[in-house]
Amino acid sequence: MMGNDAANSEGPKSPEKQQEVPAGWKANIIAFACHYCAFAAADLAGVMRLSYPSNVKVVRLPCTGKLDHVYLLRAFERGIDGVFVAG
């Protein structure tokens, strides 16, 4: 299902110019996670020894209510490739 999303976002709607991807580039992703739900889930994933990509760096928030426009913008400002919020 997400595969479809990725395909869609590459369609003509994307405002981004296609540029050549340099060799060795790896997606840099930030996840904002609520301490009590998503962060616990991430912890559980670790305990269950599930493997997931190492591109995702997690920022723990006490609650996703702590999330601020500025956090997201700052991430993009510094050249982060993707941000997701889970909680």
Partner 1 sequence: MIVGQQKPFDEIWAMVRVHRRLTVFGCNTCVAVCHQGGNKEAEILASLLRMRAVQEGVEMDIAHGGIERQCEHPFFESAHELLEGSEAVLSMACGIGVQFVAEKYASTPVYPALNTTFLGDVKTDWHFTEKCQACGDCILGLTGGVCPVTRCCKRLFNGPCGGSSKGKCELSKELDCAWQLVVDRLEALGKLDDYEKITPIKDWSKDRAGGPRSFKLEGF
Partner 2 sequence: MLAMLGIDPARLEFYNLSAAQGPRWAEICTEFTARITALGPSPIWFALQKGMKPTETHRQAA
Query: Among partner 2, partner 1, none, what does residue 80 contact (CB within 5–8 Å per kind)?
Result: partner 2
Task: State yes or no: residue 65 binds partner 2 (CB under 8 A).
Answer: no
Task: State yes or no: residue 43 binds partner 2 (CB under 8 A).
Answer: yes
Geometric angle at alpha carbon 78, from 77 and 82, rounded to 5°: 80
- Contacting residue, 40, 55, 76, 81, with partner 1 by CB under 8 A: 76
Q: What is the DSSP string of 9-51?
A: HTSTT--SPP-PPPTT----EEEEEETTTHHHHHHHHHHTT--
- Contacting residue, 1, 23, 48, 70, with partner 1 by CB under 8 A: 70
- Contacting residue, 62, 74, 81, 84, with partner 1 by CB under 8 A: 74
| CA 87/CA 41 separation, integer angstroms | 9
Task: State yes or no: residue 66 binds partner 1 (CB under 8 A).
Answer: no
